[in-house]
Each structure stands twice: as C-alpha cells, then as structure tokens.
Structure 1
Amino acid sequence: MGEMAKVTIQTYKDNGYGQNALINSKAFKALINPTGFSITHKVEYDTSQPEGANATNSKFVKKSPQSLQLEFLFDGTGVTKSNPGNKLINKIKEGLGKDPFSKTAVEQQLKDFYEATGDFKGTIHKPYNVIVSWGKFKFEGSLTELTIDYKLFNNDGTPLRAIGKATFLESISDELAAAMGKKSSPDLTHKRTVQDGDTLPLMTEKIYGDSKYYLEVAKVNGLINFRQLIPGQELFFPPLEKVS
C-alpha cells in the first residue's frame, strides 16, 4: 500500500500562492500524522432588533473565513524513527535520553514548525502564508494560534514529547478568489443541459440570480416556445447586462 502521506506545510510570500511566491515546497513535514482535523465555518448575522420586538429578523452580514484546527505530535523519544505511522505510540524505547535524537528532536521540530508558519519574516514584514496539505486535502491560510502542551521530559528537563495545537485562518487574495469563482460567475457564458422539470425562468434564476432575463436567453437560443423545453436540450446562458 505504500507509506501513508504525511501532513506537509508549504510556505509562500503572499496569499496569491503563485509559483513565484513559493518560498519552500517542503518547509515542514510531520513525523507523525494527526489523528484528525477540524474545519470551522462561521456566518455572521445582524441580530439587532427594535425596542419592544418579540422576535428577531436576523440579517446576513458576511461569511467569515474558515479556520483549520490541527494537533501535531512532536516526539523526541526515538519511537518515530522505528515506528513511522500516524498512531500515537506510548512505548518508550530502552535507553531513553541516551540517543542524541531524543535530546534535540522536540526543540528542533518546534523550531522548524514555527519557522514555517508563525515566525515573523523581516523580508516580507509578516509571517508566511502557508498551504497545509494532507493527501488530497489542502488549506490556504496563516497560523493564528499555537498552543504547546509538553507531555514528557528527560531527567535533565529536556522535553521528549509535546503536542502542538495549531489554528490556521483561511486567507486568499482577491485575485485568486476571483479566479476560483470564474466557473460560477454570471459574467461568463454557461452551457446547461435541460433536465426533466426544468423551466427557462427557473434555469435563468439559477444562473443570474433573477428569472427576469429568460426572454433574453430565449432569444439567444432561438427558442420559439420557451415553455416547451426538451430534456437533453442544450441551452446557452451568455453574459448579460443586469438591470434593476
């Protein structure tokens, strides 16, 4: 089956994530994968109401950026060298603390992680933007919070195991967001195949957000009777100048 894909972090100068902005394609690679991750979606509403009202007419304000929560295991016991995988292994090897790996691993892993995510970069006057990848999953954003829980120590106090709880906030440039949204933009020509139950006003509303443009669409497609659409028929929905 091959080795399981590890969580990797790529670093970029800006949130356009272009090839020219790429700093390091392998800035950080987890030794042990997290057991999972969480995505938070948040939508903001205006819940203000006039005095004396007995109900609230919540009004949409904006969709806030997504956030990603991940827990990373930073291990210095040496277990990760002989037992690569994504499960948290609690067995401590014999001779713990005698291997040079165990004396510096946690500190070095934490340093590498923070340099790739949260450290202030003087050349760009901010921390890096990052793409967090795990197999087919990708998240573009920036580190906003990192909490480190130290779990195990050597006799001299050197940390041998730590859990890093990281939160990343979605961050995408306006240009990239526009490029990503082109496929659903009403400013581009769309081709749709008529399905059972489709009507021209309904299809027009789905494309343009308003059904009142159905006569223009009928004209473009040469429809004599727009009320009799045929399933399987292909219709074009061109860019239209919207009117209020």
Structure 2
Amino acid sequence: MIGELKKTGGEILKVKIGTYKDNGFESVIDSDAFEALINPTGFSFTSKIEYNTTQEQGAPGSNPKFTKVSPQALQMEFLFDGTGVTEAYKGNKLINVIKKNKFSHKTVKEQLKRFYEATGEFKGSFHKPYSVIVIWGEFEFKGTLTEFTIDYKMFNKDGTPLRAIGKATFLEGISQELIAQKVKKSSPDLTHKRTVQDGDTLPLMTEKIYGDSKYYLEVAKINGLINFRQLKPGSELYFPPIEKIS
C-alpha cells in the first residue's frame, strides 16, 4: 500500500530494509538491517503481463492467450555518502545539507557493505541471500534483490570513493501461502489455468472452479475446443473470471 509517509516527532521516516530467512516472512533476521542515509526522490515499478502468441504455420496472425502476471519489480536508488559533510537529511530528496562542522560518518565502502550484507550476500546456512522487506512510511515491498548497479560520483586524492549512487532492483517474491491469502486463489472472479488430468471432464472442472457446471460450453468456446467431451490429459485450459462468461 502506498500512502503518506508516517512521521515521528515531525521527522519523515527513512527507507529501511528488514531481512528474513525466507519468503514466508515469519523468521526475522534483522528488522533494521539497513537504513538509507538520505531518502530517494522516488521509486518505480515494472509490471509484466505475459501472453502466449504462438500461431499456426502460415497463419496471418495469432490469438494471444493470457498466460500469467509476472511478479512486480521495484527500482529504487540509494545515496551512499562518505564525505563527512552530508547530514542524514530528514526529508525525501537526494540533496546535500552542508554543515560548517564535520560529524562522524561511515565510509562509502562501509555503507555499501552493510547494504549488500542485508540484500545480496549469499548466506551459506540458507543457500541464498535473505528475503527482504523494503519499507518507506506506509509503503512496503516484499521480495529479493535481483540487480544492483553502483555509480561512483566523487573520489578522494588516493582514489577512495566518497560518494556513490546505488541503483537497486527488487523482485516481488512471497510464499504460496502468502499468495493464497493475498489473491484468494479459489475466487471465481480470477482467471485460472488448469492442466487436464485423467478422468477430468469439462463440466466437472467448471464446477470445481465456479461452483456450477453450467458454464462449460462457454469455457469450451474460450479455449477453442471442438470436441470438449474428449479432453486430452496434459493439455491446459483457461477459465476466465465468471463475469466474462455469465
């Protein structure tokens, strides 16, 4: 859910990353594994809906059939600053707040290490990196880091990086139990894909999904079935939302 950022004592909360053992998000490792020095200017999502566009040889076109909705991807940038003149700004912009007096700070290398330990480092005991929750106010995203690009922007005289922008991509990923809770998979208002098993009949499969077998003729039409009385085991059938066939 995306909403207004929660405030505590007049301060806007920072982007935080919590780590978990797996995508069931029950076994927490560290709820404050990483906190952004400065909040990003924003974030973006990538969504992909896949269709099967296979067409018969010689056919002038195809009849795309819905396959699946791929997991969302979250893109977010993080500022890593080790100059000692950038305060952990309380707002939500990638800007520098210059102070006359320097204060204690961590190097870019230390900050990147903490970020990578939380999001991308392979954990031998789990045989994978941690599952993470990215939190910014009321916004929450559950998944795993899939890509991380670092742009170094400033260097010390000896070549030590003093500032960097990390461009991270997180792929949505939750357990089947959480998916079922989230989308109520048994709902007749969703599109379902089923593989035909031995002994299956179209009226029986239709009844299992919609709670009524009366829609089997419409389902046959949608799937282009000529002889729906003889279903081929292993074939896949699509059952659209009930409002589209009623």
Q: Give the structure-2-normalised TM-score.
A: 0.68
Contact 1:79 1:92 in 2 (8 A): yes
Q: For residues 72-126 of structure 1, what are the alpha-carbon distances to aligned partners after superposition, in whole Å with 9 as ceiling and x for unaligned?
A: 1111122332744332235766788xx763xx52111100000000001111111
AA partner of residue 28 (structure 2): L
Identity %: 67
Residue 64 of structure 1 is matched in structure 2 by 70
- Find the partner of 2:94 among 88, 92, 97: 88
Give distance in 2, aligned partners of 1:82 and 1:126.
31
Deviation at 1:161, TM superposition (A): 0.6
Q: Which runs of 5+ in 2 are unaligned?
A: 1-6, 189-208, 216-246
Give distance in 2, aligned partners of 1:100 and 1:31.
13
Residue 195 of structure 1 is matched in structure 2 by none
Contact 1:72 1:164 in 2 (8 A): yes
RMSD: 2.7
The answer to whether residue 121 in structure 2 is matched with residue 119 in structure 1 is yes
Give distance in 2, aligned partners of 1:45 and 1:149.
36
AA partner of residue 76 (structure 1): G
Q: Which structure is larger by alpha-carbon Rg, 1 or 2?
A: 1
Deviation at 1:210, TM superposition (A): 6.9
Deviation at 1:176, TM superposition (A): 1.3
Give distance in 1, aligned partners of 2:107 and 2:100.
17
The answer to whether residue 25 in structure 2 is matched with residue 25 in structure 1 is no
Give distance in 2, aligned partners of 1:156 and 1:128.
34
Give distance in 2, aligned partners of 1:130 and 1:56.
40
Q: For residues 10-62 of structure 1, what are the alpha-carbon distances to aligned partners after superposition, in whole Å with 9 as ceiling and x for unaligned?
A: 100000011xx100010001010111111111111111111222222111111
Give distance in 1, aligned partners of 2:24 and 2:98.
44
Query: Does the residue aligned with 2:72 lie in a helix, a strand or coil?
Result: strand
Which deviates further from its counterpart, 71-80 or 8-17? 71-80
Give runs of aligned pairs for residues 161-200 of structure 1, distance below 5 A. Answer: 161-182=163-184, 185=187
Give runs of aligned pairs for residues 24-43 of structure 1, distance below 5 A. Answer: 24-43=30-49
Residue 158 of structure 1 is matched in structure 2 by 160
Q: Which has the higher helix share?
A: 1
| Structure 1 residues 61 and 94: CA distance shift in structure 2, 3 A | same
Give distance in 1, aligned partners of 2:211 and 2:79.
47
Contact 1:77 1:93 in 2 (8 A): no
Deviation at 1:139, TM superposition (A): 0.7
Residue 14 of structure 1 is matched in structure 2 by 22
Residue 134 of structure 1 is matched in structure 2 by 136
| Structure 1 residues 137 and 91: CA distance shift in structure 2, 3 A | closer
Aligned residue pair count: 188
Give distance in 2, aligned partners of 1:209 and 1:42.
30
